[in-house]
């Protein structure tokens, strides 16, 4: 085999030429593929495709190849807390204004002061039931995330399986929550199991859908490069597609954190022996609207804490992304 090596053209006045970036400076995933690929190891150096012809760059200080420093970014969790605080202040102000101006009956719309007093007065009843609901939410969140991630990875590893799994996931998600809640309570009883299954079903869809969509949207150029280095399906999925799909997974986790309490509360409404949903049902039957609002405030607080946890996870998993790209 004859290899022709072209001479580098002379640089124009005031310009300097830089060689193309070698393979050793490619991203970590591609370097791992190259190190683990027998085909790439046996490939002669002259046969490795180059990144293109040399590029003429201006000489002098302006010719630095260092990227511009990224602007400092705030943690997404802090921004969410600030926005939430502003929204809550505005809602409470409007709520209190309506109560003062229209003066509705307390059983129709209690004021924020009545809700706070009910929260303090009934704390002995609300706190144990809140722990039960929180347990159902956390277990359902973990099982739903694990099931959603496993399903997305399976569909990414076996693309043909998505034709069968995707319609099943869509049908499962299209079922009204109130329609399947009585069946789940009948199957799994009035304890924690039926609420955990309900929360798992609700959380499963956003995680599986978002993560699988991120896997499918991987840059085709990276996939072609992985095939060039002889990477198998599993290695390509682990080193190329999964890292590329992490932003989509974080989006699914944020959605799951927001809807996680729905399954537990609906299950407690249908049938339960404890939980905030049961407290809300009893308070509604007795026209204790302030107690019902107090229980609802605890549910909202749980959802906010879970959302903050998802934002913290995003900062840990995706430190290289600006918050506007998440």
pLDDT in tens, 128-161: 999 999 999 999 999 999 999 999 999 888 888 8
- More confidently predicted of 156 and 68: 156
pLDDT at 146: 94
Residue that the structure tokens 């934002």 belong to: 311
Please tell me the CATH code under which domain 115-325 is placed.
1.10.3720.10
Please give the average per-residue pLDDT across 107-134, as a whole number: 90
Instruction: Quote the percentage of the chain above a pLDDT of 70.
Output: 74
**Where is pLDDT greater, at 187 or 31?**
187
pTM attached to this predicted model: 0.70
Give me the pLDDT at residue 94, please: 92
CA pair distance 92, 231, nearest whole angstrom: 57
Residues 72 and 36 sit within 8 Å (Cβ to Cβ): no
Ranges of each domain in the chain: 115-325
Q: Is the pLDDT of residue 20 over 70?
A: no
Distance CA 129, CA 115 (A): 17
Rg of the chain over all Cα atoms, to the nearest angstrom: 28
Say what angle helices 242-270 and 276-285 make with each other, to 10 degrees: 40
Highest mean pLDDT among 3-12, 166-175, 276-285: 276-285
At 298 the pLDDT is 92
CA proximity to 106, closest of 303, 291, 295 = 291
Q: How confident is the model at residue 163 (pLDDT cuts 50, 70, 90)?
A: confident
Instruction: Give residue-wise pLDDT tens across range 221-255.
Output: 888 888 888 878 888 888 888 888 888 888 888 88
């Amino acid at each position: 085999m004859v290899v022709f090596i072209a001479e580098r053209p002379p640089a124009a006045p005031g310009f300097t030429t830089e060689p193309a970036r070698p393979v050793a400076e490619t991203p970590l995933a591609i370097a791992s593929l190259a190190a683990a690929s027998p085909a790439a190891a046996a490939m002669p150096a002259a046969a490795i495709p180059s990144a293109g012809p040399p590029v003429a760059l201006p000489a002098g200080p302006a010719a630095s190849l260092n990227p511009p420093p990224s602007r400092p970014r705030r943690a997404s969790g802090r921004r969410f807390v600030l926005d939430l605080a502003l929204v809550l202040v505005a809602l409470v102000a409007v709520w209190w204004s309506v109560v003062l101006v229209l003066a509705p009956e307390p059983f129709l719309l209690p004021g924020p002061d009545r809700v706070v007093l009910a929260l303090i007065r009934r704390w002995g009843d609300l706190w144990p039931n809140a722990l039960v609901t929180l347990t159902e939410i956390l277990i359902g969140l973990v099982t739903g995330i694990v099931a959603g991630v496993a399903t997305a990875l399976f569909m990414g590893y076996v693309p043909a399986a998505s034709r069968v799994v995707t319609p099943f996931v869509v049908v499962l998600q299209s079922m009204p929550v109130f329609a399947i809640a009585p069946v789940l309570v009948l199957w799994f009883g009035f304890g924690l199991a039926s609420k955990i299954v309900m929360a798992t079903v609700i959380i499963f869809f956003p995680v599986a859908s978002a993560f699988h969509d991120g896997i499918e949207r991987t840059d085709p150029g990276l996939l072609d490069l992985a095939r060039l280095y002889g990477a198998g399906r599993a290695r390509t999925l682990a080193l190329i597609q999964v890292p590329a799909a992490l932003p989509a997974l974080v989006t699914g986790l944020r959605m799951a954190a927001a809807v996680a309490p729905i399954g537990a509360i609906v299950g407690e409404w249908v049938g339960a022996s404890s939980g905030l949903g049961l407290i809300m049902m009893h308070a509604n039957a007795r026209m204790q609207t302030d107690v019902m609002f107090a229980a609802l405030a605890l549910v909202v607080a749980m959802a906010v804490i879970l959302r903050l946890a998802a934002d913290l996870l995003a900062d840990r998993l995706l430190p290289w992304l600006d918050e506007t790209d998440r």
